[in-house]
Chains A and B, each alone.
Chain A
Amino acid sequence: AQSVTQLDSHVSVSEGTPVLLRCNYSSSYSPSLFWYVQHPNKGLQLLLKYTSAATLVKGINGFEAEFKKSETSFHLTKPSAHMSDAAEYFCVVRETGNQFYFGTGTSLTVIP
């Protein structure tokens, strides 16, 4: 069975400080993993994806995530937060089927 746990529903960081959004998954197979971001009144935008290639995945806007199979984690990081990063972030897993399984989302606030 597939499931995704986003460990924090809300994260606040100061502008210019690092961002860490945590995600753990459970999967019986080798999953594909994604991070999506949703800004207010916008659609879900793909930040990055892992599909069994390099375990450190670089995405758009300076974000990256590392697939750690031993820890079943796929945490999202960014070295320095920008005001425009304030949004809701979703960790997503897909196994062998067509469905995406979403976490409950993490709302990121960036404090000036």
Chain B
Amino acid sequence: DQQVKQNSPSLSVQEGRISILNCDYTNSMFDYFLWYKKYPAEGPTFLISISSIKDKNEDGRFTVFLNKSAKHLSLHIVPSQPGDSAVYFCAAESGGSYIPTFGRGTSLIVHP
């Protein structure tokens, strides 16, 4: 049973537009959420995170929104750039376990 779900395997966006990647979770014990970005033939790299005491965290072009009641988070990329084309993984952790649970990833393609 997937505790972290990324229901869109892929997303295609025009350069300059907004990219919105979604993630849903089922475990109410999760209290820390992370997004990772992965290019082909490389390991994932950390992008942005949010703790459950916040509903928004922003870092440059990247913003993560958390809706605890809906158990939903989203990553917004504005404006999208071709270099953002990658697979994005959502991950969640609970109570200082330091053991994240990953979603299956969403492949983002940004067209010039």
Instruction: Answer whether A and B are interacting partners.
Output: no
Binding site for A on B (CB under 8 A): none
